[in-house]
Structure 1
Amino acid sequence: MKPDATPVQLRLDRALDGLAVTFRAMTARSDENQCDCHWGSDEELALLKTPDVELDPDLLRRTWEAPDWQNHGAVLRRILPQFARELVAGRVDSWFGMHEVGRCFMRGDWREWPAQQSGAVWEFLYAWWLRSLLDPEPVVPVHELFAMCAEASGMVTPWLDVWEALHHPVTDRHLALAVDEWEYELLVDELPWDSWHDREALRTELADWLVRCAPERLRAVDASEELLHRVRLIGLSGPARWDDPHYPHRPY
């Protein structure tokens, strides 16, 4: 049975509207520049200094991907209402994974923005995360969105707390799929995505949470015994892990 997603969809819709209101009429700085050989034309740059003009998909992509804006926060505020709509519609692709999108947020230093602005971003991320957890077929796989939110915020705690509070077969199936994606790296004590934050702290918290919370929920959706053993092994270290008969000896 599908969960009733109407309330969380309404919350996401309101969050998107909140971004549109909060960042209306914002632009890149007038002295912002970019390489016309590798990024785009002066005319395209001028669009970022013009408020509330929709960017074509390719220009939007080049804008959020560029790591070298002089004032990344101003550029992010300029594109955020449109960028967020494209994200929730599944129209934003990242070659290396959605954590790259989170990195765009991080470069904008959005958590240091004024309270109304940072609050609007928090609400968008929370609302999208909640909506995706309750969606049997989210436009962005939950494990990818988790990495995006973690990289955007520098934390895994708030996203794990939401997941832990939601007990439903849909959220549990997402957990089984995430464990299947993550166990390869976690079994060699690596974070499952590339991060610019404290990787060891993030990995430790994620691993501890999985060992504590995942087994019961994986059993509830008939996950394989092999996957359950992988979670158990994540909680071990050294020879206790490597010498276990269920440890998967495979090339890394």
Structure 2
Amino acid sequence: MPSHQQQVFTALDALDRTFASEEPFPVTGCTYCYGDQDLLDLSGPLHRIADDLVSAVAAEVPDHWDDFPRLYRRLTPRIIRSVITDQLHVDENLIASRLVQAGWTTWEAPLTRALDGVWSAWWQATLHTHPSPVPVKNVLSLLTVATGALRPWLDAWTATRTPAADAQLTDLIDDVMVEFEITELHMGFYDEYHASPELLNWLLTDARARTDDARLDDPYLLGHRHRPAPSETS
């Protein structure tokens, strides 16, 4: 197993150990969507919760649960491992938005440090692996929305000069150039993060020499290069 992939699983194992302090608690919520057995299972040992139930909770709207932040926090190791291994089958943008709604950055320091370790290891593994289990745009979206910042992940990409990182760049460009999505690209299930200004400028500057994609020279695209995000003009 490549070292960067091993580092991801090492970080995930550390996440499991750190979150083991999250004790089971009586889960209550929407009994129309979840039966008594579902709520009982969610109130029991983490490893005994069925994968499909974890997936359902990972995507569910917060108001279905009486204590959504605590439930999501407890399930986080299962959710994140399944996302990274492409076993969850839930939109990565939605997972990012749910993490934000659960307030993960306000959790106890050991928990947030463990998650930060996973984010960094996952991004490095993505930049050193092609193809990756999860498409690079989806990884970048989750990391950006969850952490509230795009630039650190782009800076890491700039510093990673490998064939895999360049191949991932090609994939990203192919993805965001469909109907010029890059000119109005939002990340997160609720479009929380307007990524176009930072990402487009990065593609046209730091990353430009790493690709010969002529689409990046399109006048329409270049005309959007310095357009500020809506929040900057309000």
Equivalent residue, structure 2, for 1:179 = 173
2:202 paired with 1:204? no
Equivalent residue, structure 1, for 2:147 = 153
Q: Do 2:187 and 2:193's aligned partners in 1 also have CA atoms closer than 8 Å?
A: no
Structure 1 residues 4-23: aligned runs within 5 Å: 6-23=2-19
Percent of pairs with identical residues: 24
Q: Which has the larger radius of gyration?
A: 1
The aligned length equals: 223
Distance 1:111 1:235, change over 3 A: farther
Aligned-residue offset at 1:47: 2.1
- State the AA in 1 paired with 2:8: L
CA RMSD between the two structures? 2.5
Distance 1:54 1:33, change over 3 A: same
Aligned partner (choices 111, 116, 120) of residue 126 of structure 1: 120
Q: Do 1:28 and 1:75's aligned partners in 2 also have CA atoms closer than 8 Å?
A: no
Q: Do 2:131 and 2:168's aligned partners in 1 also have CA atoms closer than 8 Å?
A: no
Aligned-residue offset at 1:148: 1.3
Q: Do 2:148 and 2:193's aligned partners in 1 also have CA atoms closer than 8 Å?
A: no
Structure 1 range deviating more: 6-15 or 157-166: 6-15
2:223 paired with 1:236? yes
Aligned-residue offset at 1:87: 1.8
Distance 1:45 1:208, change over 3 A: same
Q: Do 1:26 and 1:51's aligned partners in 2 also have CA atoms closer than 8 Å?
A: no
- Residue ranges of structure 2 left out of the alignment (5+ in a row): 228-234
**TM-score (norm. length: structure 1):** 0.79
Distance 1:23 1:216, change over 3 A: same
1:67-121 deviation digits (Å, cap 9, x = unpaired): 2234333112221222222222211213xx4211211211221111111110101
Distance, in Å, in 2 between the alignment partners of 1:178 and 1:48 is: 37
Structure 1 residues 134-149: aligned runs within 5 Å: 134-149=128-143
Structure 1 residues 1-252: aligned runs within 5 Å: 6-27=2-23, 29-30=25-26, 32-38=27-33, 40-68=34-62, 69-94=65-90, 97-183=91-177, 184-187=180-183, 190-194=184-188, 196=190, 199-200=193-194, 202-219=195-212, 224-225=213-214, 227-230=215-218, 233-237=220-224
2:16 is paired with a residue whose SS is helix
1:60 is paired with a residue whose SS is helix
- Residue ranges of structure 1 left out of the alignment (5+ in a row): 242-252
Distance, in Å, in 2 between the alignment partners of 1:162 and 1:57 is: 33
Aligned-residue offset at 1:12: 1.0
Equivalent residue, structure 1, for 2:232 = none
Equivalent residue, structure 2, for 1:245 = none
Aligned-residue offset at 1:28: 5.8
Distance 1:54 1:213, change over 3 A: farther
Aligned-residue offset at 1:122: 0.9
**TM-score (norm. length: structure 2):** 0.84
